Structure 1
């Protein structure tokens, strides 16, 4: 079996270990395509039969993305959007926070060239299976599209938002007809017992899932380690040329200004922002936690809710005049949005912008319902037996006791929300059954940037657990020729 590992930066550290085990135990031929020159140069001969540098494959480090006449590029856009669009390939640009902000023509040229180059690459390798570390960059998004069109299983470990349980995902989206929770399967008794224990424990002492608990925002503080890394950055950009030409790496002076500006804004904003008070009739209010932006959770999984202010305006117009929306900033975004953003939110009718240090769990418990685009707060509200309204693609949309508005026109949001809340009934047994199904169908391992969390991700036990997850997928593929294979159906062209 030929397996291609699509490694984004430090996920190479984990994937090379899996490649070694697959080669040793299954005699699998493992190829690697690595994003990030440092990791490519260091690990290109470690665990992989052959390795490729992503930036070389897509021609990123070469000048002249696509010098053809724009009329010729337009022909390719029509061709590739018909093949891969849903209904537009702009989603490919939205997967990459850097390309998303580029001028339209430059963005289009980059997308077309990336798809062309990677089509040629996949055709040359002809893998039986692709393991990817995400879709938060244009090349990885394109590889997924190409594999789907060629009916090659491409697997991504999708976080269930429950502890550290992961499901296999076969598309770039958290929801699909071919992955997620199968509600038709009866869970094992052991999983039911574990689900009940988990729910009861969470209600007594709610905790973030492992992935989010490992995320630290202490990197905003200044230390001598930051100074060392900055001088190392200068060396790699100007002297070793490791970062030069990489679209994800700004010149050192721009990076320095950006980092200083963010830290100053964090300090200033927390002192200057006049947060609003929590209303006395909090049980008549909805809780809406803001998402990190730009980020995959809103740019891709958020469907048409990438504009969070516009989304809040639509929600405000959809709710009863007796209701309101409590908005809380994400801790990772403090200092990254401008003051006008917050003032605009505060000026939306029936909206209150509260201090980000307020406990999310307390807000979920006390408010009328939690509204989220694609955040973990939705799963937390499910566990606490509270109403949940989602606006985008998210794995727990499969739970029948939540309201998904992603396909509902905004003009109808109000009546849908009213009907849902009037008929909401938290059924404890149904909740246990759903959580048991997640436990039954998923795998437990830590899957987060290995370099930031080596003791949690790169220890032998975690590597073995992740390997079992991959091995299970390989076994299923060998038994069922259609397992994990998806096809892009572009309905806009039917």
Structure 2
């Protein structure tokens, strides 16, 4: 589908936008981690056709991917690009002397309400070096090193922003300390900061003006501006979703692990390549915290599958039978994978999910159970002791992670979630939902979604969600249509970022050149539209 059905961007609008921001050139800063650099490489030429670009600043994390990207064909050399590189900030941080007076000033100037959220957001700083591959809560950096890194980040980013003088900053998923600092400084200086996020509806990407306030952006009165086309697409999506066919682009396609997969030539090749990389890394990439070597490949491809099989066999003795769900009074809690921005950014007060589950379980009627389903991706990641601690909570029951979430939702009295997409599936299934964190569907009526802000009120919120529940399909359709009208269709994860084993949307009809020009027009018109 062409962009015209989403935003009618004509020449006069673009001219008006350019004149309103800068009569000659438009300065931009892009924030990219890893393969997200590809997005902005593709976007630069069409953006320059629409709004003549001036100074371009690019913050980049992942030195290995940066070197590979610039070694091949790319568009960056055609523009006056200034680079800010994460690994160089890491090197500077090692030499910096902590200035506590300066850090206190930064805390007061940029904090939300302090600067801890920026540190927590970056798993490569706040968690262990292998935390993507196994449960590891020990921070990579000591507290003094964190302060050094934070101080270096703010100093370099302030200088970078003053140098480029951006009219806007655009990022994709705020997953590093530096990206979070860009957001905080931009907010304090009044520089528009926009972030692309997966809408998890079809293959849509939404550009949000504030990555921490995603629900409020979708909550604005929009019904008069929602097109008939968007409402029609919303009805089609809802019909598919209620038939349990709502898989979105980028969704990870998972298969239960097997021992036979450990002996595949692919695994052997990965281990050999990672061994070579590990030997070269200390010499060529000493300050790059993004790219892992042999230990990560070994953990993910060998240790994790073996642990998944062992843990699944043990836990199978304790899983609640799906046949007992219809005769049990229960609330459903879907465990988040870790690390995940759903916890580190949108649910940072709920990162200890064992205690989250304990609080929920103790907020239920005494005869009710809390049914917990882990994400199948997490099997083998968590320790067996983690699950044993969950089973020690008296009214907690585990179900097979490979059981469909829809089957667990079907008989639940309610769903309590931090910010999982399972919560939205529950809304579609006409079940009451209580959320603990920030998520897009928090903007739906309180008769469908109750936002809890304190564990002391959780029992009352669960009761209110159940007793005052009222399904309002018109509001749900308007919400879906609003997301569609504010978003752009592109296979970002499966195609652009080339993430393996991701669901692919085959409905795209545009050529690559048309696609990126339309995406650029969408970005321009979105940034121009009144907030």
Give your verdict on TM over 0.5.
yes
Q: How far apart are the structure 2 equivalents of 1:342 and 1:447?
A: 34
Select the residue among 241, 256, 265 that pairs with 1:224.
Answer: 265
**Residue number in structure 1 paired with 2:58:** 32
Which 5+ residue runs of structure 2 have no aligned equivalent?
Answer: 1-25, 127-138
- The aligned runs of 1:335-484 (5 Å cut-off) are 335-400=380-445, 401-407=447-453, 409-448=454-493, 450-452=497-499, 461=511, 464-465=514-515, 467-478=517-528
The structure-2 alpha-carbon separation of the partners of 1:215 and 1:209, relative to structure 1 and needing over 3 Å to count, comes to farther
Task: After TM superposition, give the deviation of residue 320 of structure 1 in Å.
Answer: 0.9
User: What's the counterpart of residue 85 of structure 2?
Assistant: 54
- 8 A Cα contact 2:29 2:58, kept in partner: yes
- Inter-partner Cα distance in structure 1 for 2:49 and 2:266: 39
- Which among 281, 294, 302 is matched to residue 339 of structure 2? 294
1:185 aligns with 2:196: no
CA 1:95–1:467 in structure 2 vs 1: closer, same or farther (change >3 Å)?
farther
Per the alignment, residue 486 of structure 1 pairs with none
Select between 446-455 and 216-225 the one with higher mean Cα deviation.
Answer: 216-225
Pick which of 8-17 and 277-286 moved more: 277-286
Question: Shift of residue 226 of structure 1?
Answer: 3.1
Secondary structure at 1:64's aligned position in 2? helix
State the match for 1:114 in structure 2.
153
* Greater mean alpha carbon deviation, residues 251-260 or residues 289-298: 251-260
Is the partner of 1:210 in helix, strand or coil? coil
After TM superposition, the structure 1 = structure 2 runs for residues 38-77 of structure 1, keeping only pairs within 5 Å, are: 38-44=64-70, 46-48=74-76, 49=79, 50-58=81-89, 60-61=90-91, 64-68=94-98, 73-77=99-103
Tell me if structure 2 keeps the 8 A contact 1:381–1:388.
yes
Residue 316 of structure 1, CA deviation: 1.2
Partners in 2 of 1:98 and 1:213 — Cα distance? Answer: 22
Deviation at 1:132, TM superposition (A): 0.9
CA distance in 1, matches of 2:295, 2:348: 35
Q: Deviation per CA, 1:48-67, whole angstroms, max 9, x where unpaired? A: 22252512542x14572533
Q: CA separation in 1, counterparts of 2:100 and 2:148?
A: 9
Q: Give 1:437 deviation, angstroms.
A: 2.5
Q: Aligned with 1:318: secondary structure?
A: coil
1:165-198 superposed Cα distances (whole Å, 9 cap, x missing partner): 3322123325364x23434433222322322222
Q: Are the equivalent residues in 1 in contact too, given 2:347–2:437 (CA < 8 A)?
A: yes
Any unmatched runs of 5+ in structure 1? 484-494
* Equivalent pair of 2:195/2:208 in contact (CA under 8 Å): yes
Which residue among 109, 118, 123 is the counterpart of 1:97? 123
Q: Is 450-459 or 199-208 further displaced after alignment?
A: 450-459
CA RMSD of aligned residues (A): 2.9
Relative distance call for 1:254 and 1:199 in structure 2 (3 A) is: closer
1:492 maps to what in 2?
none
Give the stretch that moved more between structures: 48-57 or 367-376: 48-57
What SS is found at the alignment partner of 1:32? strand
Work out whether 1:153 is the aligned partner of 2:192. Answer: yes
* Offset at residue 455 of structure 1 (A): 11
Question: In structure 1, what is the Cα distance between the partners aligned to 2:350 and 2:410?
Answer: 25
Distance in 2, Cα, partners of 1:51 & 1:230: 36
Q: 1:124 to 1:455 in 2, by over 3 A?
A: farther
Q: SS of the residue aligned with 1:122?
A: helix
In the TM superposition, what whole-angstrom CA distance separates every residue of 1:293-345 from its partner, at most 9, and x where no partner exists? 12211111013111111111111111111322110111111111111110111
Structure 1 residues 269-293: Cα deviation after superposition (integer angstroms, max 9, x where no partner): 1222233214355562111110011
Structure 1 residues 477 and 53: CA distance shift in structure 2, 3 A: closer
Which stretch shifts more, 155-164 or 89-98? 155-164
How far has the Cα of 1:200 moved from its partner?
1.9
2:277 is the counterpart of 1:236: yes
**Superposed counterparts of 1:189-208, under 5 Å:** 189-208=228-247
In structure 1, the partner of 2:30 is 5
Q: 1:277 aligns to what?
A: 320
Q: Is the CA contact 2:172–2:197 (under 8 Å) kept in the aligned structure 1?
A: no
1:19 match: 44
Q: Is the 8 A contact 2:249 2:493 kept in 1?
A: no
CA deviations on 1:20-62 (whole Å, 9 max, x unpaired) are 222244332444332222332344482222252512542x145
Count how many residue pairs are aligned between Structure 1 and Structure 2.
474
Q: Alignment partner of 2:269: what SS?
A: helix
User: What TM-score do the two structures reach when normalised by structure 1?
Assistant: 0.87
Corresponding position of 1:165: 204
